[in-house]
Chain A
Amino acid sequence: GAGVSQSPRYKVAKRGQDVALRCDPISGHVSLFWYQQALGQGPEFLTYFQNEAQLDKSGLPSDRFFAERPEGSVSTLKIQRTQQEDSAVYLCASSSQGLEMYFGPGTRLTVT
């Protein structure tokens, strides 16, 4: 498939566990974004990469959230010591020219 893929699609974590969410962007896309979408809300920006460089992490809600893209392709969003308020859908998006942004299917995280 040519689209953005994310895994896992669903994740249930007990409070206090660490989780890692993966994003495979469209091949060749330089820019990669992570967004958090709470139930019934619009997506909220978390962080942005251009190639392997994390250029904007202003949306990460706490130091428990960490994202990386070491080779400028696949990205991982890690959440340490998960809390109930972290329950949301985590969306990854990629773009090539910085204009059209393509979203993945999302990972639905439920923290119990």
Chain B
Amino acid sequence: ELKVEQNPLFLSMQEGKNYTIYCNYSTTSDRLYWYRQDPGKSLESLFVLLSNGAVKQEGRLMASLDTKARLSTLHITAAVHDLSATYFCAHSPGGAQKLVFGQGTRLTINP
């Protein structure tokens, strides 16, 4: 069964703190994606990770990929309120074009 599991599913944190969202997937994968979704909006692409050990950073967000552990992480540094959103990871299982998504992590950052 193709599964993507994120944790935590809900995260409430204070501005200025650091935290990590974890994404485990069940099968070999060509690509790992991170998306952001604001309430009532569509998905905004954050990162595409292609290879083992890949690390990408944009502002306060950094994503990494460990294909051997089938694990990706999204690290948030010194969180600010406007990072509040739901974050999804997704992977493309073994050569497929489609994406399999996790359940999402709802992140709330409090002043």
Contacts and interface: CB of A to CB of B under 8 A. Distances in A.
Do A and B assemble together? yes
B42 A106 contact: yes
A98 to B, nearest CB: 6
Given A41-B103, A42-B88, A45-B98, 20 more contacts: A31-B97, A35-B99, A41-B104, A43-B43, A43-B88, A43-B99, A45-B99, A45-B100, A50-B97, A55-B97, A56-B96, A56-B97, A91-B43, A101-B45, A101-B99, A103-B42, A103-B43, A103-B44, A104-B42, A105-B41
A2 interface: no
Chain B's interface size range is: 20 to 34
Q: Which are the 6 A-B pairs with shortest beta-carbon distances?
A: A42-B101, A45-B98, A103-B43, A103-B42, A105-B42, A43-B101
A59 B43 contact: no
A101 to B, nearest CB: 7
B33 interface: yes
A100 B48 contact: yes
A33 interface: yes
Contacts of A102: 45
A65 interface: no
A101 B88 CA distance: 14
A18 interface: no
Interface in B61-111: 88, 90, 96-104
A48 B98 contact: yes
Q: Which of A33, A43, A59, A91 has the most CB of B within 10 A?
A: A43
Given A41-B104, A99-B48, A101-B33, A91 B42 contact: yes
